[in-house]
Amino acid sequence: MKIIHTITELRAELAAYPSAPAFVPTMGNLHEGHLALIRQARLLIQGSGSPVVASIFVNRLQFGPHEDFDRYPRTLARDAELLDGAGCDIVFAPDEAELYPEPQGYQVQPPDAVANLLEGEFRPGFFTGVCTVVLKLFNIVQPRIAVFGKKDYQQLMVIRRMVAQLALPITIVPGDTARANDGLALSSRNGYLTDAERVEAVNLSLVLRSVQTAVSALRSAGGQTSPILVELESKATAQLRDRGWLPDYVALRRQKDLLPPTASELIGNEPLVTLAAAKIGKTRLIDNLEI
Ligand code: PAF
């Protein structure tokens, strides 16, 4: 596996391959969830002679002023070992001066309808930062396939729409969320948790399960006990608050556009997803479950 830090070197390296790569963008500090995406990328290009490329870049543009940009762990040597073991061929790890040699004045502004709800409401500018760096990385790596984890469910949707609207010749493939044995979604930010917070953290996924169970029960009862959507969401939010969390949201949404389902969609068979973001101590975690 090669570790490459500049755009020029990366382009020269990629030119030697017969076809375009499969790409997994990351911010490093990798865990099993990222490695599963690499293995998925490997399977997708099997037999084509294409390489699997991962990028490691902590993208300042997607962090708010009071977020964890400075303390986000930079662990390139360890990440490179893990990527090598997972079957990655090339790691692109530019420094900031390489990716943003001058202030990034041209930015991708995703529409409010996808970017200003849920994560976008609590992290203003987040999806502009994500879309800008992802489009730039796509232009540098020129992949034909890119794999994004469903753990960042809204990010996956925002990127898919960007790729569709800008007619980029890239297939976006979703990767399942990897979980610890107790059900906690794997995240680079889990490393910030104290031992006690780590024990508590599983309750984020348990609250989502309780929403999933409530919707399934409602659907199998033919909607007869119909609690309204807001009740489901506020009960789940209160469960977290009672346990000492600071929830930003627990939401039940349509998978296709992350908008609230109508009453008939709620009790019918519209594919839904329940999503949550909440702080435990100083650490903000997100998770979701498809229904
Ligand atoms: O999901 C992430 O790790 C980041 O948002 C991404 C896609 C690498 C862009 O910086």
What SS3 state is found at 110? coil
Residue 59 CA: nearest ligand 1 atom is: 10
Is the model more confident about 173 or about 219?
A: 173
Q: Which of 141, 145, 151 is nearest to 56 (CA)?
A: 141
Predicted confidence (pLDDT) per residue in 116-147, tens digit: 999 999 999 999 999 999 999 999 999 999 99
The pLDDT assigned to 236 comes to 96
The pLDDT assigned to 225 comes to 60
The pLDDT assigned to 140 comes to 98
The pLDDT assigned to 154 comes to 98
Predicted confidence (pLDDT) per residue in 176-235, tens digit: 999 999 999 999 999 999 999 999 999 999 999 999 999 998 888 876 666 688 899 999
The pLDDT assigned to 222 comes to 75
What SS3 state is found at 130? helix
15 Cα–ligand 1 center, Å: 25
pLDDT band (50, 70, 90) for residue 98: very high
Residue 78 clears pLDDT 90, i.e. is over it = yes
Name the average pLDDT for the chain: 96
Q: Is any ligand 1 atom within 6 A of the Cβ of residue 130?
A: yes
Residue nearest to atom 3 of ligand 1 (CA): 26
pLDDT band (50, 70, 90) for residue 94: very high
Q: Is any ligand 1 atom within 6 A of the Cβ of residue 159?
A: no
Q: Is any ligand 1 atom within 6 A of the Cβ of residue 59?
A: yes
Residue nearest to atom 5 of ligand 1 (CA): 130
Q: Is any ligand 1 atom within 6 A of the Cβ of residue 108?
A: no
Residue 248 clears pLDDT 70, i.e. is over it = yes
CB neighbour list of residue 22: distance below 8 Å, 6 or more residues apart: 41, 42, 44, 45, 50, 51, 52, 53, 143, 144, 145, 146, 147
The pLDDT assigned to 228 comes to 83
Backbone φ and ψ of 105, nearest 5°: -70, -35
Q: Is the Cβ–Cβ distance between 190 and 281 less than 8 Å? A: no
pTM of the model: 0.95
254 Cα–ligand 1 center, Å: 23
Residue 159 CA: nearest ligand 1 atom is: 7
Helix intervals (H) in the chain: 7-15, 32-44, 76-86, 96-99, 112-115, 119-122, 126-141, 153-165, 195-220, 229-242, 263-267
130 Cα–ligand 1 center, Å: 6
Predicted confidence (pLDDT) per residue in 30-62, tens digit: 999 999 999 999 999 999 999 999 999 999 999
Percentage above 70 pLDDT, the chain: 98
Residue 188 CA: nearest ligand 1 atom is: 3
23 Cα–ligand 1 center, Å: 12
Q: Is any ligand 1 atom within 6 A of the Cβ of residue 25?
A: yes
